[in-house]
């Protein structure tokens, strides 16, 4: 599952130097974006409305539809 992969990435940051940790954060941000997109697709395929997806993400329905509506 995507969440477990993210947890592993965060856990691997322990003991890193500042530059290495910043690089890891940048990679983590990319992975979070990919994971969010996949989960939004899964939610929509499962029948969740844009309003429900937006509520889960803590954003407006318009914001989530603008970001993911054409994918």
Whole-structure pTM over 0.85, yes or no? no
> According to the 3-state scheme, what is the secondary structure of the chain?
CHHHHHHHHHHCCCCCCHHHHHHHHHHHHHHHHHHHHHHHHHHHHCCCCHHHHHHHHCCCHHHHHHHHCCC
pLDDT in tens, 10-29: 788 788 888 998 998 898 89
With a cut of 50, list the residues of the chain below it in pLDDT. Answer: none
């Amino acid at each position: 599952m995507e969440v477990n992969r993210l947890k592993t990435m965060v856990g691997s940051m322990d003991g890193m130097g500042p530059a290495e940790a910043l690089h890891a954060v940048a990679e983590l941000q990319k992975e979070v974006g990919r994971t969010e997109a996949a989960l939004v697709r899964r939610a929509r395929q499962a029948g969740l409305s844009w309003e429900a997806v937006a509520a889960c993400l803590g954003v407006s329905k318009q914001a989530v539809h603008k970001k993911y509506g054409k994918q």
